[in-house]
C-alpha cells in the first residue's frame, strides 16, 4: 500500500512537472500564447444553444404548471398545456412583459424551436395513428359511421357557408375562395381522439356504451377528417386542376399500398415472430426509418409529412405488446419534451391582440358558434336519429365537439400554407380552446359519468391503452 | 337499420350538394379562385423538412447497417456507427459520389442536423453521468486511482510533448500554444466508459477482477478527464488569466453545489418517497428541466453544456429503479435517433482527403502511436506497479485505450472552439477509431475473456446495468 502511494505521488509529480515545463517551453517557443484565448473566434452556435435551452426550460416548466392547474380545475391537462403555449406568446407574456418575451423568444431564434416542434408533432401523429383502433369501429359500425360523418359534414357545411361571409373580410390576399373555404370548413370538423379518450378514461366511461360509441365515432372521424384534409391540402398546394387531381390520386395510391399491402405484410411478420430475435434498438431504428420514409413520401407527393406519419402509425401491427413497446419508447419523450414546444410555437403565432374591435370579436364568436352548432349539434341529432336516447346523444355530441391538439396541428398546416391569415388562425385557435374546455363542464351538466377521484396515473396525453394496474411506483409506469 | 342508412344517404347528399353549391357560388362571387393555388407562396420550410427527413433516413439506416456489420466482425456496434458517420462524409461518399453527397447533405442544410445531434449528445452525456457508478470505485479504490491517473497523466505528457512539434505545423492561426497543447493532450487521455462497459459485458468479464478494476479505472478516468477538460475549455475560452481563473472557480463552485448539496437532497427526496406519487411524465419533465438548467449554467459559466449534462446525470439519485426509469425513457430514443446524427455530424467534419502527403500521414501515425503508448502503456505499467499480473495489466491497458464515442464528443468541442483545425480533427478522429477498434483483437491476442455467443440482448450503447434476464421478447426490453 505504501509502495503504491509512493509510486502514485512520484508519477504525478514527475509527469506533472514535465507537462508544466513543456507548456512553458512551448509558450516561449511560440509566443502569442501569452494571453490565452484572446484571438479565438467566439463560437456562433453557443449563444443559440443557450437561448434554446432557456426556451426549453421555460416552455416545459410553464406547460407542466399550467397543465397541473387545469387538471385541478377539472380539465384535461392538455388543455392547460395549450393555454400555456398561448400565455408564452404575444397574447399574454408579450403584452405584459414585452422585454421578457423578446429576451426568451428573440425573433431570430425560433427556427430551432419550430424544427423540434415539427418532429414532436410527427411523432405524436404517429402515436395517434398507432392508437387508431378500428376495432372500436367494427364493434359499433352501425351508429359510428352515421354520427361521425354527420359530425364532419355539418360543420363543413356551416364552415363553407360562413366563409362566404368571412372570405372578403379575413382571407389572406392571393388565396382563392375554394382553398380558404375548404380548409376552414374541414378544420372545423376535426375531433380530438386523444383528448376524447382521456376524458372518457378520467370519467371511467371507456367501457360504457357511450364511451365505446364515442371512441368509434372519433376513430372514424379521425380517419375521415385527415383524408379530407389531405385532399384539401392537395387542392390548395397543387397548381391547377390537373395538379390537384394528380396529388389526390398519388395520395390515394400511397394510402392504398400502405393499408392493403404494407399493413398485412407487417402484421404477418410480427405474428410469425420474424422480429422476436431483433434487438429493441434495431427494431426502433427500423420503425423510425419507416415513419420518416412515409412522412417523406407524403411530403414529396405534395400533402404534409403529418399524413405520412399518421398513416405509418395506422399500419403498425395491432399486437398490443408491439404498440406498447413503441408508445413507451416514443411517447414520453415526445409528449413531455417535444409537444410543449409545439404548443409554444402555436402560441407564438396566436395574437389575441390582432382582434382589435368588437366586430372582429363578433366574427370570432360566429366561428365558435358555427363550430359548436355544426359539430355538437350535428352529431347529437345524428345520434338521436340512430336511435340513441337524447341525453346520451347530447353527451356524444359534446365529446365529439372537443377539438384539442389535433385541431391545432391542422391549423398550423393551414397557417404555413398561407391559407389562414394570422387573424383567422387566432380565431380558430380560440375556437379550439373553447370547444375543448367546454366538454368537461357540459358533461357534468348532462350528468354523464361521475368524475372519479383523480387518478395518480392519469397523464396528459395518455392513450386509451394506458389504464394499467398501479403495481409499481407511479413514475415507473 | 334501413332507416339509418336512408338517413345517412340523405344527410350526405343534402349537405354534400349544399357544400358544392356554396363553393361554386363563392368562387363566382370572389373570382381569382378559379385557378386554385397558383398564387400561393411556397412554404420555405417544406424543402428543408424533406431534406432533413432524407438525411435522417440515410443516417439511421447506414448507422444500423454498418453497426451490424461491425458486430459480425466482432467489434462493438458503436464502432461501426462511428465509421458509418465517416463514410457519409467527404472522406468516402463525398469522394465516391460527390453529387449524391451534396444532394443529401447540401451545405445550407446542416444546421438542423447539428442542432439535433447536440441535443443527442447532451442526453447521452446525461446517461453517461447516470451510469457513472462510483460504487465501482469504492470497491477498487486502491488500484483504480493509480492506474486511472497514470492513464491520464502519461498521454497528457506525451500529447503536450508532441504538440511542441505539431503546433507550428498544424495549429489553427490565432490559437495560443497553451490551449492547443492542453486540449490535444487532454483529448488523448480520454477513455470511453460506455464502450469499455460494453466490451466487458460482451466477453462476460464484468464480474471478474479484471472487469471490476477496469470499470473502476474508467469511472475515475471519466470523472477526472472531464474535470480536466472543463478546466482546459475554461482556459481556452476565457480571455486572460483572471478570466480563466474565474471560470475555473465558478465551475468548481457549481460542481461543489451539485455534488455536496443537490445530490444528497435528491437522494433524500427519492428515499423518503417524496416522488412516489408523481406521474411519470411530471417526473420526466422535472428531470429534463433540471438537466437543461444544469447545461445552461455550465454554458453561461463559459465551459460547455456537455459538462452540465454530465454533472446532472452524476447527481441523479442512485436508486436503480429511478435510473432505469430515466434510461428507458431517454436512452433508446437518443441512441437510436439522435446519436447517429452526432456521428454523421462528426463524419461530415472529418476529411481524410485533407491528409495529403506522406508527411501528414506520418504525423497522424505519430499521434496514434503517442495516444496508444501513453494510454495503453501508461496504464499497463501502472497496473503492474500496483501488483496486478502482467497479462491482466496489459488487458487493463488495452481496455483503457478504447476511446470510442466520448473522444469524438471531446474532439467536437475542440473543433467548435476553433482549437483543433480540420486537419488535426481528422487525425484525432482516426486515432479514436483505431484505438477503439484495436481493443477487441488485442484482448483476443491476450486470451482474456472468451467471447461468448453473441447475445441477442447486447445492444449498441447499452449500459452496464442492462444485463437483465431475457423473459420477454427481446424487442420489449
CB B312 within 8 A of CB B125: no
**Mean pLDDT computed over every residue of chain A:** 83
What are the pLDDT digits (tens) for A412-469? 999 988 899 999 999 999 999 999 999 989 998 887 765 443 333 333 333 333 333 3
CB A304 within 8 A of CB A233: yes
pLDDT of res. A474: 42
Measure in Å the smallest separation between the Cα of A66 and chain B Cα atoms: 12
Which residue of A26, A27, A296 is the best one to mutate when testing the B interface, meaning the one whose CB has the most B CBs within 10 A?
Answer: A26
The total number of residues written for chain A in this structure: 477
Nearest chain A alpha carbon to B148 = A8
pLDDT of res. B138: 63
pLDDT of res. B33: 46
Nearest chain A alpha carbon to B123 = A333
Residue B373 lies in a domain: yes
- Residues A193-229, buried b or exposed e (16+ Cβ, 10 A)? bbbbbbbbbbbebbeeebbbbbbbbbbbbbbbbbebb
Query: Quick check: A222 pLDDT over 70?
Result: yes
pLDDT of res. A33: 46
Asked whether the beta carbons of residue B146 and residue A7 sit closer than 8 angstroms, the reply is: yes
Rounded Cα gap, residues B253 and B168, in angstroms? 36
pLDDT-derived band at A354 (thresholds 50, 70, 90) equals confident
Nearest chain B alpha carbon to A277 = B474
Q: A287 lies in which domain range?
A: 52-104+115-450
Query: Quick check: A285 pLDDT over 80?
Result: yes
Please give the grid coordinates belonging to residue A66: 399550467
Distances (CA, A) of A212 to A135, A205, B51, B264: 10, 8, 41, 49
pLDDT of res. A131: 80
Residue A153 lies in a domain: yes
CA B288 to chain centre: 17
Measure in Å the smallest separation between the Cα of A2 and chain B Cα atoms: 11
pLDDT of res. B467: 38
Residue B154 lies in a domain: yes
From A175, A322, A330, residue closest to B40, measured CB to CB: A175
pLDDT of res. B461: 38
Per-residue pLDDT of chain B in tens (477 residues, 90 and over written 9): 677 788 888 888 888 899 888 888 888 888 764 344 433 444 444 578 889 999 999 999 999 999 999 988 888 888 899 999 999 999 899 889 999 988 999 988 888 888 898 898 899 889 888 887 666 666 666 778 888 888 899 999 999 999 998 898 888 888 888 889 999 999 998 888 888 887 887 788 877 888 888 888 888 887 788 888 888 888 887 766 777 788 888 888 999 999 999 999 988 887 777 666 667 788 889 999 999 999 999 988 888 888 899 899 989 988 888 888 888 788 877 888 888 999 999 999 999 888 888 888 999 999 999 999 999 999 999 999 888 899 999 999 999 999 888 899 999 999 988 899 999 999 999 999 999 999 989 998 887 765 443 333 333 333 333 333 333 444 433
Asked whether the beta carbons of residue B305 and residue A49 sit closer than 8 angstroms, the reply is: yes
- CATH number of the structural domain spanning residue B245: 1.20.1530.20
pLDDT of res. B131: 80
* Number of domains composing chain A: 1
Asked whether the beta carbons of residue A279 and residue B475 sit closer than 8 angstroms, the reply is: yes
What are the pLDDT digits (tens) for A153-179? 999 999 999 999 889 888 888 888 888
pLDDT of res. A468: 37
From B282, B293, B336, residue closest to A64, measured CB to CB: B282
Residue A5 lies in a domain: no
pLDDT of res. B40: 42
Residue B44 lies in a domain: no
Backbone angles phi, psi at B454, to 5 degrees: -55, 120
Higher pLDDT, A144 or A255: A255
pLDDT of res. B249: 87
Measure in Å the smallest separation between the Cα of B153 and chain A Cα atoms: 6
Residue A465 lies in a domain: no
Asked whether the beta carbons of residue A178 and residue B27 sit closer than 8 angstroms, the reply is: yes
Query: Quick check: A122 pLDDT over 80?
Result: yes
pLDDT of res. B105: 92
Residue B474 lies in a domain: no
What are the pLDDT digits (tens) for A124-134? 889 888 887 66
Contacts of A68 in chain B (CB under 8 A): 282
A44-72 and A110-131 helices cross at what angle (nearest 10)? 50
Residue B240: name the closest of A34, A19, A27 by CA. A34
Which residue of A37, A146, A374 is the best one to mutate when testing the B interface, meaning the one whose CB has the most B CBs within 10 A?
Answer: A37
Nearest chain B alpha carbon to A148 = B8
Nearest chain B alpha carbon to A291 = B57
Q: Can you give the three-state secondary structure of chain B, one letter per residue?
A: CHHHHHHHHHHHHHHHHHHHHHHHHHHHHCCCCCCCCCCCCCCHHHHHHHHHHHHHHHHHHHHHHHHHHHHHCCCCHHHHHHHHHHHHCCCCHHHHCHHHHHHHCCHHHHHHHHHHHHHHHHHHHHHHHHHCCHHHHHHCHHHHHHHHHHHHHHHHHHHHHHHHHHHHHHCCCCCCHHHHHHHHHHHHCCCCHHHHHHHHHHCCCCCCHHHHHHHHHHHHHHHHHHHHHHHHHHHHHCCHHHHHHHHHHHHHHHHHHHHHHHHHHHHHHHHCCCCCCCCHHHHHHHHHHHHHHHHHHHHHHCCCHHHHHHHHHHCCCCCHHHHHHHHHHHHHHHHHHHHHHHHHHHHHHCCHHHCCCHHHHHHHHHHHHHHHHHHHHHHHHHHHHCCCCHHHHHHHHHHHCCCHHHHHHHHHHHHHHCCCCHHHHHHHHHHHHHHHHCHHHHHHHCCCCCCCCCCCCCCCCCCHHHCCCCCCCHHHC
What are the pLDDT digits (tens) for A376-395? 999 999 999 888 899 999 99
pLDDT of res. A137: 60
Residue A274 lies in a domain: yes
What are the pLDDT digits (tens) for A15-30? 989 988 888 888 888 8
Measure in Å the smallest separation between the Cα of A405 and chain B Cα atoms: 18
Amino acid at each position: 500500500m505504501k509502495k503504491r502511494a509512493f509510486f502514485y505521488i512520484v508519477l504525478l509529480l514527475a509527469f506533472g512537472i514535465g507537462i508544466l515545463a513543456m507548456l512553458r517551453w512551448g509558450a516561449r517557443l511560440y509566443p502569442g500564447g501569452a494571453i490565452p484565448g484572446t484571438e479565438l473566434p467566439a463560437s456562433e452556435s453557443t449563444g443559440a444553444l443557450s437561448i434554446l435551452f432557456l426556451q426549453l426550460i421555460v416552455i416545459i416548466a410553464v406547460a407542466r404548471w399550467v397543465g397541473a392547474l387545469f387538471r385541478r380545475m377539472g380539465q384535461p391537462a392538455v388543455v392547460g398545456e395549450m393555454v400555456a403555449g398561448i400565455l408564452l406568446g404575444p397574447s399574454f407574456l408579450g403584452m405584459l412583459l414585452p422585454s421578457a418575451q423578446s429576451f426568451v423568444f428573440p425573433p431570430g431564434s425560433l427556427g430551432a424551436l419550430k424544427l423540434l416542434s415539427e418532429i414532436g408533432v410527427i411523432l405524436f401523429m404517429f402515436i395517434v395513428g398507432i392508437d387508431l383502433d378500428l376495432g372500436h369501429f367494427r364493434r359499433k359500425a352501425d351508429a359510428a359511421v352515421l354520427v361521425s360523418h354527420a359530425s364532419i359534414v355539418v360543420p363543413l357545411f356551416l364552415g363553407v357557408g360562413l366563409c362566404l361571409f368571412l372570405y372578403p373580410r379575413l382571407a389572406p390576399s392571393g388565396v382563392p375562395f375554394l382553398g380558404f373555404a375548404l380548409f376552414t370548413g374541414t378544420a372545423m370538423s376535426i375531433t380530438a381522439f386523444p383528448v376524447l379518450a382521456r376524458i372518457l378514461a378520467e370519467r371511467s366511461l371507456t367501457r360504457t356504451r357511450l364511451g365505446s360509441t364515442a371512441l368509434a365515432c372519433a376513430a372514424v372521424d379521425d380517419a375521415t377528417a385527415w383524408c379530407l384534409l389531405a385532399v384539401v391540402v392537395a387542392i390548395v398546394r397543387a397548381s391547377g386542376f390537373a395538379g390537384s387531381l394528380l396529388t389526390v390520386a398519388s395520395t390515394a395510391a400511397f394510402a392504398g399500398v400502405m393499408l392493403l399491402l404494407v399493413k398485412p405484410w407487417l402484421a404477418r411478420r410480427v405474428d410469425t415472430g420474424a422480429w422476436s430475435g431483433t434487438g429493441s434498438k434495431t427494431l426502433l431504428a427500423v420503425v423510425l426509418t419507416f415513419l420518416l420514409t412515409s412522412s417523406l413520401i407524403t411530403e414529396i407527393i405534395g400533402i404534409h409529412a403529418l399524413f405520412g406519419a399518421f398513416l405509418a402509425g395506422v399500419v403498425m401491427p395491432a399486437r398490443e405488446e408491439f404498440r406498447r413497446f413503441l408508445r413507451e419508447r416514443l411517447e414520453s419523450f415526445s409528449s413531455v419534451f417535444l409537444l410543449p414546444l409545439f404548443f409554444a410555437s402555436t402560441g407564438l403565432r396566436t395574437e389575441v391582440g390582432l382582434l382589435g374591435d368588437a366586430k372582429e370579436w363578433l366574427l370570432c364568436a360566429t366561428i365558435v358558434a358555427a363550430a359548436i352548432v355544426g359539430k355538437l349539434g350535428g352529431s347529437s341529432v345524428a345520434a338521436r336519429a340512430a336511435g340513441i336516447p337524447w341525453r346520451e346523444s347530447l353527451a356524444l355530441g359534446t365529446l365529439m365537439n372537443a377539438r384539442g391538439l389535433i385541431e391545432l396541428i391542422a391549423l398550423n398546416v393551414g397557417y404555413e400554407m398561407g391559407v389562414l391569415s394570422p387573424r383567422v388562425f387566432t380565431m380558430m385557435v380560440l375556437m379550439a380552446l373553447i370547444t375543448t374546455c367546454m366538454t368537461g363542464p357540459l358533461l357534468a351538466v348532462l350528468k354523464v359519468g361521475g368524475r372519479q377521484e383523480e387518478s395518480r396515473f392519469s397523464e396528459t396525453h395518455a392513450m386509451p391503452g394506458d389504464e394499467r394496474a398501479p403495481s409499481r411506483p407511479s413514475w415507473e409506469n
